[in-house]
A and B are shown apart, each in its own frame.
Chain A
Amino acid sequence: MIDLLRRIGLWGRGVVVAIPYLWLLLFFLVPFLIVFGISLSEAMLAQPPYAPLVDWLVDEDAGTTKLQILLNLSNYLRLGGDDLYILAYLNSVKIALVTTVCCLLLGYPMAYAIARAEPAKRGPLMMLVILPFWTSFLIRIYAWIGILKANGVVDNLLQWTGLTTEPFELLYSDWAVYIGMTYCYLPFMVLPLYATLEKLDPTLLEAAADLGCRPWKAFLTVTLPLSLPGIIAGSLLVFIPSVGEFVTPELLGGPDTLMIGRVLWNEFFANRDWPVASAVAIALLLFLVVPIMVFQHVQGRQTEAGR
């Protein structure tokens, strides 16, 4: 009897899990397979604008039907052969790395300071970091346009102090992209860093100090290694989406700020070349598979550690 009840319970669980499971299979996993399929197809003027991979060829004279499967590798060959794509991938990685390092340099002291603050103050201080994340990403990027453009806030300030006499424009350059992306992704870095730093046992540092360790050395040998999981989680949380970033380089970057997200967008919307856009997406995904898996590993361990 109990066994039967257990079975019904387990069956009920199965049904419950099945709903989000099927949703994610259909709307998250299957789409990647379709993208992969279309990346092997050929662009053509049609609705939708690509040739079908699988086709039934009916030969009326012979009275036979043939199944034809066409696989077209030329989209990938184009990615490897054209400097534009390779440069875009390399530049995306460079911009994402710079963004990650800037977030780390700015976010680590913030997370550390909040973790060392009085317990009652930590919540509100952390809230102040997360709050901008709740306001629109697009609008936060927009705010920087007014600051960085010629005759904008920075320019006016520099001219007023006499540091420059000519109009000085940071907007539409790689610098503007670094600033904008650091600005937007900073909370993603501070959050996991704070989570690990807050759990750090302060008696460890006291023990190091008692044994004659200087504060800096104690930081380097105790705090930094122990906060490594937070550093890794935060860095990946910033790095992975940054590589495929589109909005920030489009609004703050110059026409020569080449990033792979922009290339994909243009292939899709401007050139209407869906197969090449799909190939770009698959190549980007392959590049990100390893970082994403490392992130999932770290994320899983973090959640388990919450027990």
Chain B
Amino acid sequence: MMRMGKLAWALWFGYAFLYVPIALLILYSFNESRLVTVWGGFSTKWYTELLQNDQLLGAAWLSLQVAAMSATASVVLGTVAGLALARFGRFRGRTLFGGMITAPLVMPEVITGLSLLLLFVALEQAIGWPDGRGMTTITIAHTTFTMAYVAVIIQSRLVSLDESLEEAAMDLGARPAKVFFVITLPIIAPAIVSGWLLAFTLSLDDVVVASFVSGPGSTTLPMVIFSSVKFGISPQINALATLMMVVVATGIFIASLVMARQERQKKRDEQMAVQGG
């Protein structure tokens, strides 16, 4: 009993460590005083100022576009990659493929950023594409490092999944493509949704890779935050951070509600099927 008590303390200490900084950040976004850590009364003026900051809003718009495009591309590529790793058995070049999928998970960002930039420069010299650097190159770079996360999520979902459903469909004469779209895809849909959300957040969060592969005129939101944070803290950034966290929390909340509902629906269907049979 004694040990469980200590463990609970460790757990609560860990949660405090994780959440107190975020709570303080949100609290001080409503601070009247410009000195972020001195309380000067409640105010929402930083939010108003934020909404008039055109540079920041432009960067946010660019980041959202890049994040949506790269998350979509990386879900397509990552799902295929995860499927190949989980279902195709041993194929030629599988070891290299598996290596290229997991390595981006731990690769330091400075290396990824530098290597992609040098590739884009070399490609531009050789074939004239990409013409300069900007939204396209950032999107490609983000797709490359986020698809690894999607592939791992899809692979682990497929590995824990019973193959018999897919085999049954095959036995009944369904083509592989049909099996994928009718059987596999609906089952792994929740994993795909969380993969998309993860890729979206990772893209929206990246400052290092984007700094390497962006060109003049394409500054993403994290790059703006990074350069302003380097000069010290400002209540506007607190307000922005609070807004971003509210958006993320809402997104996750809705996604988990939808998934819980699907799970319940599935259970009900299964029970119906058992009773019916």
Q: Are A142 and B37 in contact (CB under 8 A)?
A: no
CA distance A130 to B174 in the complex (A): 39
Residue numbers in B under 8 Å from A306 (CB-CB) = 156, 159-160
Q: Are B241 and A136 in contact (CB under 8 A)?
A: yes
Q: Mark A234-272, 1 if CB is under 8 A from B, else 0.
A: 001100110111110011000000000100110011000
Judge whether A89 is part of the interface by a CB distance below 8 angstroms: no
Residue numbers in B under 8 Å from A295 (CB-CB) = 102, 106
Judge whether B207 is part of the interface by a CB distance below 8 angstroms: yes
Q: Are A20 and B78 in contact (CB under 8 A)?
A: yes
A-B contacts, 15 listed (Cβ < 8 Å): A13-B84, A17-B88, A24-B101, A25-B100, A26-B119, A132-B18, A134-B201, A142-B237, A146-B25, A146-B233, A147-B24, A281-B111, A281-B115, A292-B107, A303-B152
Q: Are A240 and B106 in contact (CB under 8 A)?
A: yes
Our count of residue pairs bridging A and B at CB distance below 8 angstroms stands at: 246
CA distance A13 to B177 in the complex (A): 10
Nearest-Cβ distance from residue B91 to partner chain A, whole angstroms: 7
CB under 8 Å from chain B, chain A span 102-142: 106-107, 109-110, 112-114, 116, 125, 128-129, 131-132, 134-140, 142
Q: Are B21 and A183 in contact (CB under 8 A)?
A: yes
Judge whether B147 is part of the interface by a CB distance below 8 angstroms: yes
Q: Are A142 and B80 in contact (CB under 8 A)?
A: no
Judge whether A160 is part of the interface by a CB distance below 8 angstroms: no
Nearest-Cβ distance from residue B92 to partner chain A, whole angstroms: 9
Judge whether A70 is part of the interface by a CB distance below 8 angstroms: no
Residue numbers in B under 8 Å from A20 (CB-CB) = 77-78, 80-81, 84, 147, 151
Closest to B2 in A: A215
CA distance A221 to B230 in the complex (A): 48
CA distance A281 to B112 in the complex (A): 9
**Residues of B in contact with A, size category:** 35 or more
Would you call the interface of chain B mostly helix, strand, loop, or mixed?
A: helix
Q: Are B159 and A296 in contact (CB under 8 A)?
A: no
- The CB with the most chain B CB atoms within 10 A, among A116, A247, A300, is that of A247
Closest to B106 in A: A240
Closest to B151 in A: A20
Q: Are A138 and B110 in contact (CB under 8 A)?
A: no
Contacting residue for A31 out of B80, B115, B155, B230, CB 8 A: B115
Residues of A in contact (CB 8 Å), total 90
Q: Are A139 and B241 in contact (CB under 8 A)?
A: yes
CA distance A57 to B228 in the complex (A): 48
Q: Are B118 and A152 in contact (CB under 8 A)?
A: no
Q: Are B25 and A132 in contact (CB under 8 A)?
A: no
Contacting residue for B11 out of A34, A109, A142, A237, CB 8 A: A109
Judge whether B189 is part of the interface by a CB distance below 8 angstroms: no
Closest to B103 in A: A292
Judge whether B8 is part of the interface by a CB distance below 8 angstroms: yes
Residue numbers in A under 8 Å from B249 (CB-CB) = 131
Q: 5 tightest CB-CB pairs across the interface, nearest first?
A: A244-B108, A31-B115, A109-B10, A143-B21, A240-B106
Nearest-Cβ distance from residue A260 to partner chain B, whole angstroms: 8
CA distance A156 to B77 in the complex (A): 50
Closest to A152 in B: B37
Residue numbers in B under 8 Å from A261 (CB-CB) = 108-110
CA distance A123 to B205 in the complex (A): 25
Q: Known contacts A34-B119, A145-B233, A151-B37: does B110 contact A241 (CB below 8 Å)?
A: no
Q: Mark A281-303, 1 if CB is under 8 A from B, else 0.
A: 10011001001100110011001
CB under 8 Å from chain A, chain B span 121-150: 121-122, 125, 140-141, 143-144, 147
Q: Are A132 and B144 in contact (CB under 8 A)?
A: no
Residue numbers in A under 8 Å from B36 (CB-CB) = 146
Contacting residue for B8 out of A23, A113, A137, A142, CB 8 A: A113
Nearest-Cβ distance from residue B81 to partner chain A, whole angstroms: 4
Q: Are B233 and A244 in contact (CB under 8 A)?
A: no
Q: Are B21 and A140 in contact (CB under 8 A)?
A: yes
Nearest-Cβ distance from residue A298 to partner chain B, whole angstroms: 10
CA distance A12 to B178 in the complex (A): 12
CA distance A112 to B147 in the complex (A): 30
Contacting residue for A153 out of B24, B97, B109, B119, CB 8 A: B24
Q: Are B100 and A285 in contact (CB under 8 A)?
A: no
Q: Are B245 and A135 in contact (CB under 8 A)?
A: yes
Judge whether B244 is part of the interface by a CB distance below 8 angstroms: yes
Q: Are A30 and B24 in contact (CB under 8 A)?
A: no
Residue numbers in A under 8 Å from B143 (CB-CB) = 23, 27
Q: Are B201 and A24 in contact (CB under 8 A)?
A: no
Judge whether B222 is part of the interface by a CB distance below 8 angstroms: yes
Judge whether A38 is part of the interface by a CB distance below 8 angstroms: yes
11 A-B pairs besides A35-B115, A241-B108 with CB distance below 8 A are A13-B91, A20-B80, A23-B147, A24-B100, A24-B144, A142-B225, A146-B25, A146-B233, A240-B108, A245-B108, A307-B160
Nearest-Cβ distance from residue A25 to partner chain B, whole angstroms: 7
Q: Mark B190-230, 1 if CB is under 8 A from A, else 0.
A: 00000001100100110110011000000000100110011
Q: Are A138 and B108 in contact (CB under 8 A)?
A: no
